[in-house]
Amino acid sequence: MPRRLPRLVLPVLLAVGWITASCSRDQGPPRDARAEATASAAQRLQGRWLLQSFQPVARLDFAVQALLNAQIGQLMVEVNGMNMSMRGPGVVVQRTYRIDEAYSDHLQLMVFDSYGVGFRATGDFNGNTLLFAGTEAPWAGRGTLVRLP
């Protein structure tokens, strides 16, 4: 013959279950640290930046080096949502980007040209400065962007 639980046990079990469910509901779903870091990096990228410096890994041909020299201190990068516009002497470019990885002050992203070809870059925030590294020729190298007010 099955044993019956005393009358008070069932209400206590129901109360414990209700309290447990309500506590876990108040905390919300577990946070995804990667998604939070990516969202934070995307937010930090928003705004206007000025190209302060760029040092290519490989020597550039004369025309490309001349174009680069004209952009230092002149090229403005504006990030709005997932879009980037770059404007400088003789240069007007629209790009989209995707952040692939982010943690602390570091991010890794893909910048896509109008044909959908991706160019990998990394960056490190340092106050109002973004130290970046491009990995695709001819723009493989290290540079600095400074946030504009």
pLDDT recorded at residue 33: 87
Low-confidence residues of the chain, pLDDT below 50?
5-26, 28-30
Distance CA 77, CA 57 (A): 21
pLDDT recorded at residue 8: 40
User: For the chain, what are the domain ranges?
Assistant: 34-147
> Which of the following CATH numbers is that of domain 34-147: 2.40.128, 1.20.1260, 2.60.40, 3.30.70?
2.40.128
For residue 140, give the amino acid letter: A
pLDDT recorded at residue 9: 42
**Mean per-residue pLDDT of the chain:** 85
Distance CA 83, CA 67 (A): 23
| pLDDT tens digits, 95-107 | 999 999 999 999 9
Q: What is the pTM of this model?
A: 0.76
pLDDT recorded at residue 21: 43
pLDDT recorded at residue 14: 37
Q: What is 57-126 written as a DSSP string?
A: SSPPPHHHHHHHHHHTTT-EEEEETTEEEEEETTEEEEEEEEEEEEETTEEEEEEE-TT--EEEEEEEEE
Q: What is the CA radius of gyration of the chain?
A: 26
pLDDT recorded at residue 137: 82
pLDDT recorded at residue 11: 40
